[in-house]
Amino acid sequence: MSERIVVDPITRIEGHLRVEVDIDENGVINDAFSSGTAVRGLELIVRDRDPREVWAYVQRICGVCTTVHALASIRSVEDALQIKIPRNAHLIRDIMNEALFVHDHVVHFYHLHALDWVDVVNSLKADPAETSRIAQSISNWPKSSVGYFTDVQNKIKKLVDSGQLGIFANGYWGHKAYKLPPEINLLAVAHYLEALDWQKEIVKIHTIFGGKNPHPNYVVGGMATPLNIDGENGVNAERLYQVSDLIDQANEFVNQVYIPDLLAIGSFYKDWTYGGGLNNYLCYGDFSTTDIYDTKNYRMPRGIILNGNLNEIHDIDLKDPEQIQEFIDRSWYTYDGKKFEGDGKHPFYGETEFNYTGPKAPYKTLDTDKEYSWIKAPRWREQPMETGPLARLMVGYAAGKQEIVDIVDDTLKRLALPLSALQSAIGRTIARGLETVLITDWMRKDMDELFKNIKLGDQGTLNQTNWDPENWPSKAQGVGWMEAPRGALGHWIDIEDGKTKNYQAVVPSTWNASPRDYQKKLGAYEAALKGTKLLNKEQPLEIMRIIHSFDPCLACAVHLTDLETKNSTEIRLG
Ligand code: NFE
Ligand code: MG
Mutate to test the pocket of ligand 1, among 96, 509, 514 (most ligand atoms within 8 A of CB): 509
65 lines ligand 1 (CB under 6 A): yes
CA 166 to the chain's CA centroid = 26
For ligand 2, a single-atom ion, which residues have Cβ within 5 Å?
A: 505
Specify the ligand 1 atom closest to the Cα of 62: 1
**Any residues with CB less than 8 A from the CB of 132 and at least 6 apart, and which?**
144, 145, 146, 148, 149
- Mean pLDDT in the chain? 94
**Any residues with CB less than 8 A from the CB of 452 and at least 6 apart, and which?**
none
Residues of the chain above pLDDT 70, percent: 97
Neighbours of 364 (CB within 10 A): 11
**pLDDT of amino acid 568:** 34
d(CA 89, CA 502): 27
Question: What DSSP line would sit under 457-468, residue for residue?
Answer: T----B--TT--
DSSP three-state, residue 30: strand
**pLDDT of amino acid 37:** 87
**Contact criterion met (CB below 8 Å) for 449 and 294:** no
**Max Cα–Cα distance, the chain, nearest Å:** 74
Choose from 165-179, 252-266, 331-345 the range with maximum mean pLDDT: 252-266
> Closest-lying ligand to the alpha carbon of 101?
1
Specify the ligand 1 atom closest to the Cα of 61: 1
Neighbours of 163 (CB within 10 A): 6
pLDDT in tens, 95-117: 999 999 999 999 999 999 999 99
508 lines ligand 1 (CB under 6 A): yes
d(CA 126, CA 186): 7
Query: Active-site residue 62, yes or no?
Result: yes
Mean pLDDT over 273-286 rounds to: 97
**pLDDT of amino acid 563:** 39
DSSP three-state, residue 119: coil
Specify the ligand 1 atom closest to the Cα of 487: 7
**Contact criterion met (CB below 8 Å) for 342 and 348:** no
| Region 84-275+424-464: CATH code | 1.10.645.10
Distance 508 CA to ligand 1 centre (A): 6
| For ligand 1, atom 6: residue with the closest CA | 65
> Closest-lying ligand to the alpha carbon of 488?
1
558 lines ligand 1 (CB under 6 A): no
Query: Active-site residue 326, yes or no?
Result: no
**pLDDT of amino acid 567:** 40
524 lines ligand 1 (CB under 6 A): no
Would you say residue 361 has pLDDT above 90? Answer: no
d(CA 352, CA 335): 8
| For ligand 1, atom 8: residue with the closest CA | 507
**pLDDT of amino acid 559:** 64
Mean pLDDT over 268-289 rounds to: 97
d(CA 491, CA 468): 22
- Exposed, middle or buried by CB within 10 Å (0-12, 13-18, 19+), for 379? buried
d(CA 88, CA 367): 52
- What letter represents residue 368's amino acid? T
Distance 504 CA to ligand 2 centre (A): 5
DSSP three-state, residue 376: coil
pLDDT in tens, 412-430: 999 999 999 999 999 999 9
553 lines ligand 1 (CB under 6 A): yes
Q: Of 486, 545, 548, 559, which residue is the catalytic one?
A: 486
**pLDDT of amino acid 560:** 39
40 lines ligand 1 (CB under 6 A): no
Name the band, by pLDDT with cuts 50, 70 and 90, for residue 41: confident
Query: Active-site residue 283, yes or no?
Result: no
pLDDT in tens, 467-525: 899 999 999 999 999 999 999 999 999 999 999 999 999 999 999 999 999 999 999 99
Q: Of 52, 60, 62, 206, which residue is the catalytic one?
A: 62
Neighbours of 342 (CB within 10 A): 11
**Contact criterion met (CB below 8 Å) for 19 and 547:** yes
Mean pLDDT over 298-325 rounds to: 98
Distance 479 CA to ligand 1 centre (A): 17
Q: Is the peptide bond before 9 cis (omega within 30 degrees of 0)?
A: yes
**pLDDT of amino acid 352:** 87
Query: Active-site residue 145, yes or no?
Result: no
Mutate to test the pocket of ligand 1, among 75, 386, 486 (most ligand atoms within 8 A of CB): 486
Residue among 377, 378, 374 at smallest CA distance from 316: 378
Name the band, by pLDDT with cuts 50, 70 and 90, for residue 43: confident
Query: Active-site residue 20, yes or no?
Result: no
d(CA 369, CA 516): 10
pLDDT in tens, 171-217: 899 999 999 999 999 999 999 999 999 999 999 999 999 999 999 99
Phi, psi of 446 (to 5 degrees): -65, -40
**Total length of the chain:** 574
Burial 240-250 (b: 16+ CB within 10 A, else e): beebbebbeeb
Write down the pTM of the prediction. 0.95
d(CA 10, CA 33): 13
> Closest-lying ligand to the alpha carbon of 512?
1
**Any residues with CB less than 8 A from the CB of 236 and at least 6 apart, and which?**
228, 229, 230
pLDDT in tens, 107-155: 999 999 999 999 999 999 999 999 999 999 999 999 999 999 999 999 9
Specify the ligand 1 atom closest to the Cα of 557: 9
Neighbours of 234 (CB within 10 A): 12
Least confident of 10-19, 169-178, 565-574: 565-574
d(CA 242, CA 255): 20
485 lines ligand 1 (CB under 6 A): yes
Name the band, by pLDDT with cuts 50, 70 and 90, for residue 571: very low
**pLDDT of amino acid 340:** 83
**pLDDT of amino acid 164:** 83
Q: Of 75, 351, 424, 556, which residue is the catalytic one?
A: 556
Percent of residues in the chain assigned helix, strand, coil, to nearest 5: 45, 15, 40
Would you say residue 168 has pLDDT above 90? Answer: no
Specify the ligand 1 atom closest to the Cα of 69: 8
Ramachandran sector of residue 175 (left: φ over 0; alpha: ψ -120 to 50; beta: rest)? beta
Distance 115 CA to ligand 1 centre (A): 21
Would you say residue 251 has pLDDT above 80? Answer: yes
Distance 41 CA to ligand 2 centre (A): 9
